[in-house]
Amino acid sequence: LSSVLSVFIRALYLRSSLFPVSSCMSLSHGDLANHNNRLVSLLNVCRKAPSFSRTKALHALSITLCYTLQQPIYICNNIICLYAKLGEVTCAGKVFDRMRERNTASFNTVISGFSKCGYSEKAFGVLSEMRDFGYLPNQFTVGGLLS
């Protein structure tokens, strides 16, 4: 079912530049809450041609669907990536700061976003925070800092 939904969403997106996220809200709450990969499919489609309004809508949808659950790290990382790609580093930073749990990819995503948008001091600050939390920088961390 998830792959069928993914294909439908991609087809819908290709036919409409508006990409009506609201149409996805009609899917049952419990159904989407149990299938986070569908939300990731929506985020991946949005990544191809990001817009602030679509990113905010998907961010709100992810919060709504996970209000009793912890938002999965990979969904937060995708949302951070979208905000950073749009140059909305303040929003990306807020998502990162509110994450209950992070991983190396979370740190790398926000470091890369800050760096690409010209906020190298913030990127190095997150690198320091990464080390403080016991995560080791890797080749993606270095690549993110150099971008």
Same domain, 3 and 65: yes
In a domain, 98, yes or no: yes
Same domain, 61 and 1: yes
Provide the domain count of the chain. Answer: 2
Same domain, 4 and 63: yes
In a domain, 131, yes or no: yes
Tokens of 62: 């992810």
Q: DSSP assignment of 44-92, as one string?
A: HHHHHS--HHHHHHHHHHHHHHTSSSPPPHHHHHHHHHHHHHTT-HHHH
Same domain, 115 and 147: yes
In a domain, 60, yes or no: yes
Residue predicted with more confidence, 93 or 147: 93
Residue predicted with more confidence, 19 or 44: 44
38-71 per-position pLDDT tens digit: 777 777 777 777 777 777 877 777 776 665 456 7
CA distance 40 to 6: 9
77-124 per-position pLDDT tens digit: 988 988 998 899 999 999 999 888 999 999 999 999 999 999 999 999
What is the reported pTM? 0.70
CA distance 56 to 5: 21
In a domain, 84, yes or no: no
Q: What pLDDT is attached to residue 31? A: 54
Same domain, 1 and 44: yes
Q: What pLDDT is attached to residue 25? A: 46
Tokens of 76: 């937060």
Among residues 92, 94, 84, 97, the alpha carbon closest in space to that of 133 is found at 97
In a domain, 141, yes or no: yes
In a domain, 80, yes or no: no
In a domain, 85, yes or no: no
- 74 Cβ contact list (under 8 Å, min separation 6): 36, 40, 105
Same domain, 5 and 64: yes
Containing structural domain, residue 53: 1-69
72 — phi, psi (to 5°)? -60, 145
Same domain, 62 and 99: no
In a domain, 23, yes or no: yes
Same domain, 98 and 62: no
Torsion angle (degrees, nearest 10) of CA 82, 2, 20, 100: -40
Among residues 69, 138, 133, 70, the alpha carbon closest in space to that of 109 is found at 138
Confidence band, pLDDT 50/70/90 cuts, at residue 74: confident
